């Protein structure tokens, strides 16, 4: 609840919360958080799809950290597609994931937009 309504919150570190609705709630409903750290959260493909959908419409997060979240190439492709539509995000950390060649291509595509 506080993440939805907290008007003074600018940064949030949400570590290893397993309920995707709580993580994406910040992206959908909070309009003041500019830095979101979801590092070490374990996402499945549906979680990434939900997160990607939220990133498409989010207009306040400028920095997103997804360090060591177990992301793979397919996850990176979904995120890259979403981030091509997001004009606000300036910084994305997807280090220490399993992106390999296809994931690297997807993140490079995002950087070019």
64 has pLDDT over 80: yes
What's the pLDDT band for 109 if we cut at 50, 70, 90?
Answer: low
Domain count, the chain: 1
> What CATH number is attached to the domain comprising 74?
3.80.10.10
Range in 18-22, 68-72, 92-96, 104-108 with the lowest mean pLDDT: 18-22
pLDDT at 37 > cutoff 80: yes
- Averaged pLDDT, 7-29: 59
Give the strands of the sheet with 11-13, arranged side by side: 11-13, 35-37, 63-65, 91-93
User: Is residue 46 domain-resident?
Assistant: yes
38 pLDDT tier (thresholds 50, 70, 90):
confident
Predicted TM-score (pTM) of the model is 0.73
Instruction: Report the candidate in 54, 66, 52, 63 with the shortest Cα–Cα distance to residue 91.
Output: 63
Note whether residue 108 is domain-resident.
no
């Amino acid at each position: 609840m506080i993440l939805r309504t907290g008007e003074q919150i600018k940064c949030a570190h949400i570590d290893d919360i397993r309920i995707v609705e709580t993580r994406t709630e910040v992206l959908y409903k909070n309009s003041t958080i500019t830095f979101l750290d979801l590092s070490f959260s374990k996402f499945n493909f549906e979680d990434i799809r939900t997160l990607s959908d939220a990133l498409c419409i989010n207009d306040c997060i400028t920095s997103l950290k997804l360090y060591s979240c177990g992301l793979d190439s397919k996850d990176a492709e979904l995120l890259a597609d979403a981030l091509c539509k997001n004009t606000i995000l300036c910084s994305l950390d997807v280090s220490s994931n399993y992106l390999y060649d296809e994931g690297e291509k997807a993140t490079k595509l995002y950087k070019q937009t």
